[in-house]
């Protein structure tokens, strides 16, 4: 017991809204963690499917502290309220339709212990569907995105310029609570790119961002997500906002002007394609022309993507 108490308390924040069918899987993954010193907070964002009553009736999940929001405010607002309620020195984020692998928290704590200036730990995710079936033949999110964007990534620290070029998936983000005092909290107005925006702010403030190139989380794809093909125009628009805000905060990024222009052109192309797929052809082709004017190579990039891979790209911008 003495050894356990010397470990930093880790608070896991789980925002949820009408995810009763999956939240037990998420909580089971927390019970299975190899790290022993954990606080679990479920922030219910006004669920109407009986999530709260069900959780309170389940002795197996009595370890989770349930906080009910006064009204539905969105996932970022729920996460922010969870941060304020958290007693832990470290904060882990996992959505209620996703799950953590058993060694996630132990791995993150070890990285943060060994590298004290680390402001954010992130990892890869395996992707499953609404029924729990593994998708894409078991290929992970980063494997797919690295191929689509021709941008391989490895375990280790990534600086602001690296992150500007290539983002990381959200499940399992782990940060010292003190970091939020310096960089601010999640921005609901930029959801679902609030995680990317936060990552850019953490790196831009001089913290280390450590990426672990192994899948330590499971990400579920289903029709109720904020991201995905159905919402790709909004997602790609928010991505542009996050990138432009980073350039305003950290103008030194422009020192690598060719890289920055290429990244902006790529983001514009993704926005253009999402608009075209959504039927907004005039706006889509207008944005496409802007992307090509900035970086003509974007045309070759699109030409080499098949239809299925193209839809995958705009869905996960």
Q: What is the pLDDT of residue 277?
A: 87
Contacts of 241 (CB under 8 A, 6+ apart): 190, 193, 197
CA atoms of 299 and 103, how far apart (whole Å): 42
CA atoms of 191 and 238, how far apart (whole Å): 7
Q: What is the pLDDT of residue 225?
A: 63
Q: Which of 155-164, 222-231, 279-288 has the lowest mean pLDDT?
A: 222-231
Q: Is residue 274 within 8 Å of residue 233, measured between CB atoms?
A: yes
CA atoms of 128 and 137, how far apart (whole Å): 10
Question: What pTM did the predictor assign?
Answer: 0.92
Any idea which fold 2-225 has? Spore Coat Polysaccharide Biosynthesis Protein SpsA; Chain A (3.90.550)
SS (H, E, C) 147-216: HHHCCCCCCEEECHHHHHHCCCCCCCCEEEHHHHHHHCCCCHHHCCCHHHHHHHHHHHCCCEEEEEEEEE
CA atoms of 191 and 239, how far apart (whole Å): 9
DSSP state of 133: P
% of the chain with per-residue pLDDT over 70: 91
For residue 252, list its beta bridge partners.
none
What is the pLDDT averaged over residues 179-204? 97
Q: Answer yes or no: is pLDDT of 314 > 70.
A: no
The mean pLDDT value of the chain amounts to: 92
CA atoms of 211 and 29, how far apart (whole Å): 21
Q: What is the pLDDT of residue 1?
A: 38
Q: Answer yes or no: is pLDDT of 4 > 70.
A: no
Q: What is the DSSP pairing of strand 208-220 with strand 99-100?
A: antiparallel
Q: Answer yes or no: is pLDDT of 52 > 90.
A: yes
What's the CA angle centered on 172, arms 169 and 56, to 5 degrees? 125
What is the pLDDT averaged over residues 228-245? 88
Higher pLDDT, 295 or 148: 295
Q: Is residue 26 within 8 Å of residue 15, measured between CB atoms?
A: no
- Domain coordinates in residue numbering, the chain: 2-225, 231-315
CA atoms of 292 and 283, how far apart (whole Å): 14
Q: Which of 262-266, 290-294, 300-304 has the lowest mean pLDDT?
A: 300-304
CA atoms of 166 and 26, how far apart (whole Å): 27
Model confidence pLDDT, tens digit, residues 121-175: 999 999 999 999 999 999 999 999 998 888 899 999 999 999 999 999 999 999 9
Q: Answer yes or no: is pLDDT of 93 > 60.
A: yes
């Amino acid at each position: 017991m003495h050894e356990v108490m010397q470990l930093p308390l880790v608070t896991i924040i789980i925002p949820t809204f009408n995810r009763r069918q999956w939240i037990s899987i998420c909580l089971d993954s927390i019970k299975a963690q190899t790290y022993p010193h954990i606080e679990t907070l479920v922030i219910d964002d006004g669920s109407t499917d009986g999530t709260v009553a069900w959780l309170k009736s389940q002795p197996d999940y009595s370890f989770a502290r349930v906080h009910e929001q006064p009204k539905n405010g969105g996932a970022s607002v729920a996460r922010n309220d969870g941060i304020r309620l958290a007693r832990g020195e470290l904060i882990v984020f996992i959505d209620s339709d996703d799950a953590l692998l058993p060694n996630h928290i132990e791995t993150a704590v070890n990285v943060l212990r060994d590298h004290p200036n680390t402001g954010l730990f992130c990892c890869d995710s395996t992707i499953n569907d609404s029924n729990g079936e593994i998708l894409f033949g078991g290929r992970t999110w980063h494997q797919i995105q690295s191929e689509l964007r021709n941008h391989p990534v490895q375990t280790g620290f990534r600086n602001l310029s690296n992150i500007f070029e290539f983002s990381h998936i959200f499940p399992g983000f782990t940060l010292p609570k003190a970091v939020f005092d310096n960089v601010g909290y999640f921005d609901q107005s930029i959801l679902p790119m609030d995680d990317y925006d936060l990552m850019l702010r953490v790196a831009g403030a001089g913290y280390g961002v450590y990426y672990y190139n192994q899948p330590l989380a499971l990400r579920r794809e289903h029709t109720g997500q904020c991201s995905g093909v159905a919402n790709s125009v909004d997602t790609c628009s928010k991505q542009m906002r996050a990138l432009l805000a980073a350039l305003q905060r950290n103008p030194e990024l422009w020192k690598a002007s060719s890289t920055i222009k290429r990244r902006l052109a790529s983001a514009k192309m993704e926005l253009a394609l999402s608009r075209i797929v959504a039927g907004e052809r005039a706006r889509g082709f207008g944005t496409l022309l802007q992307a090509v004017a900035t970086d003509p190579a974007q045309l070759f990039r699109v030409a080499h993507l098949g239809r299925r891979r193209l839809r995958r790209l705009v869905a996960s911008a």
